[in-house]
Amino acid sequence: MRILVTNDDGIGSPALSQLRRVLQPFGQVIVIAPDRNQSAMSQALTLHRPLRLHEVGEDTYSLDGTPTDCVLFAFHGKFTERPDLVVSGINHGPNMGEDVFYSGTVAAAIEGVLQGVPGVAASLVTRKPTDFREAADVVGNLVRQTLERGIEPRTLLNINIPFRPATEWRGVRVTRLGSRVYDDTLVRKVDPRGRDYFWIGGEDPVWKPEDGTDFHAVDAGWVSVTPMKLELTDHARCADMQGWDLRL
Ligand code: MN
């Protein structure tokens, strides 16, 4: 069993060594992570410049690319055999609801799925400094079950862990992706020379508190696990559109 660990926060994230610690019992752990923060890069690939890989420790590499680049290197780089599992994270901040479409953390796990292996994305719901130790224990437990029980091809797990002492976690909930309230996500300011500038992000995201969602579970102190599929086709709409006049 070979496990690729990557992230989008960069090779300096303390979460990487914590994931290595909890995943090492399952097999060989290889870390390939971006050389700097690549959050919100989604599934971006670097196509217009060369990429450089640096060995920074035993089975540990940094790459001057995106999280998805890192996964591609693990599967197609000649320096290692193909991984059997991709674990991405632990992200420093949430990846819930529609944010999975922006997330570099989730994208790396998706890339693993596209390469034919299970993908696990994990995020700790805080921006505060943390050592990720207890969160990594949770991820290790869920990965163990993933390996024991099996996971369908093209499926991935998106884990979000509430930021509180482990003794205050209520358990693990299987959830669906929630919905964000998109509001004030583009902030307009004036720079010292009087020109407008804009900042994407604004305040922390606000969520619709719907029962059964990732956000609702995390907010109530549960670890949230959302199984995700990459099937985006709207099959019901396909059937409906058969009734359209589609002659050219
Ligand atoms: Mn990140």
Span from the CA of 248 to the centroid of ligand 1 (angstroms): 46
Token duo for residue 127: 């921006």
| pTM of this prediction exceeds 0.85 | yes
pLDDT at 185 over 80: no
Span from the CA of 244 to the centroid of ligand 1 (angstroms): 43
Q: What is the pLDDT of residue 155?
A: 75
Span from the CA of 246 to the centroid of ligand 1 (angstroms): 44
> In 3D, which of 1, 2, 3 has the Cα closest to residue 120?
3
Distance CA 176, CA 234 (A): 18
Question: How far from 196 is each of 24, 168, 190, 200, 221, CA to CA, in Å?
Answer: 50, 45, 4, 13, 40
Alpha helices in the chain (DSSP H): 15-23, 67-76, 104-114, 133-149, 214-219, 235-241
Average pLDDT over residues 42-68: 97
Look at residue 132 and give its three-state secondary structure.
Answer: coil
Average pLDDT over residues 19-33: 97
Read off the pLDDT of residues 96-154 as tens digits, 9 standing for 90 and up: 999 999 999 999 999 999 999 999 999 999 999 999 999 999 999 999 999 998 777 67
Question: What percentage of the chain carries pLDDT values higher than 90?
Answer: 85
Span from the CA of 173 to the centroid of ligand 1 (angstroms): 23
12-39 in b/e form (b: 16+ CB < 10 A) is ebbbbbbbbebbeebeebbbbbbbeebb
Q: What is the pLDDT of residue 222?
A: 98
User: How high is the mean pLDDT of the chain?
Assistant: 94
Q: Is 107 left (phi over 0), alpha (psi -120 to 50) or beta?
A: alpha
Average pLDDT over residues 37-61: 96
Read off the pLDDT of residues 186-234 as tens digits, 9 standing for 90 and up: 889 999 999 999 988 766 778 888 999 999 999 999 999 999 999 899 9
